[in-house]
């Protein structure tokens, strides 16, 4: 049976509860451009089904501002709005407005100490990833991850498996060597399409989604003094996610695929 060697992390909602910061950054970018658009929480929850910031703006135009599609979608306006959003987002993250979710820093430290390889597989932009890692972990935190697969590095974003396949190819690892950590149904579908055993920690915007096929679904990774809550699957006697638990989940996943 292949052993676990590599952890592949999603970012938004998985490492940190970032989506409210993203939503605010979109709204600030719209206001700075002189637009009267305001993405409320219910609207943003709907828009999150569309992976990618530029894609999200384009979908919003098509669904809610169809009279503007011809004038806005053909030029650089969408790209400019998204670039403005990225600037606002990174500034907010760098100012300390976003904290890591429970258990994330502890698990990353444990994984590195245990000799596991780490990588990022996300649809958010590289600038957003870099800002979060530097502000929330350490100035050199990007170096903790062998590969950071992000943004437009692949033709199709999640739920397509492209970003996972890209990262595994860069690392020269097979799906049977890896375990993915996700927070959303789209992310789970992407990981499962790449044949990855997947642990899900639901986030603010994803707790009502379906996670069929996940190895384990939790409310968060947990800490010794803040145990997780199991939403689906079997965590045994564990109260917080450890590398031991990840190896057990991975072994179950490999066994299931071979049966």
Question: Which of the 8 DSSP states describes residue 101?
Answer: P
Alpha-carbon separation of residue 118 from 1, 25, 78, 238 (angstroms): 21, 28, 33, 22
Distances in Å between the alpha carbon of 234 and those of 76, 246, 247?
49, 12, 13
Phi, psi of 12 (to 5 degrees): -65, 120
Catalytic residue among 10, 162, 177, 183: 10
CB 155 within 8 A of CB 123: no
Cβ neighbourhood burial of 193 (10 Å; 0-12, 13-18, 19+): middle
Tokens 């011809």 -> residue: 70
- 234 catalytic per annotation: no
Residues with catalytic function: 10, 12
């Amino acid at each position: 049976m292949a052993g676990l060697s590599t952890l592949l992390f999603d970012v938004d909602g998985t490492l940190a509860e970032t989506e409210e910061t993203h939503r605010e950054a979109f709204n600030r970018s719209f206001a700075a451009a002189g637009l009267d658009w305001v993405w409320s929480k219910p609207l943003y929850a709907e828009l999150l089904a569309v992976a990618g910031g530029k894609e999200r703006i384009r979908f919003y135009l098509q669904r809610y501002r169809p009279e503007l599609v011809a004038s806005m979608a053909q030029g650089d306006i969408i790209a400019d709005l998204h670039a403005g959003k990225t600037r606002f987002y990174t500034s907010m993250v760098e100012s300390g407005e976003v904290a890591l979710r429970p258990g994330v820093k502890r698990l990353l430290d444990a994984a590195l100490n245990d000799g596991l390889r780490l990588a990022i597989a996300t649809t958010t932009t590289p600038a957003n990833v870099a800002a979060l890692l530097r502000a929330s972990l350490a100035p050199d935190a990007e170096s903790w991850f062998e590969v950071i697969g992000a943004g437009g590095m692949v033709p199709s974003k999640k739920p397509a498996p492209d970003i996972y396949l890209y990262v595994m190819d860069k690392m020269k690892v097979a799906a049977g060597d890896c375990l993915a950590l996700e927070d959303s149904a789209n992310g789970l579908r992407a990981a499962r399409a790449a044949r990855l055993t997947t642990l899900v920690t639901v986030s603010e915007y994803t707790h009502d989604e379906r996670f069929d096929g996940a190895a384990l679904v939790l409310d968060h990774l947990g800490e010794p003094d803040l145990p997780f809550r199991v939403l689906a699957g079997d965590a045994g006697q564990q109260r917080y996610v450890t590398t031991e638990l990840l190896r057990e989940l991975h072994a179950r996943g490999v066994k299931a695929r071979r049966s």
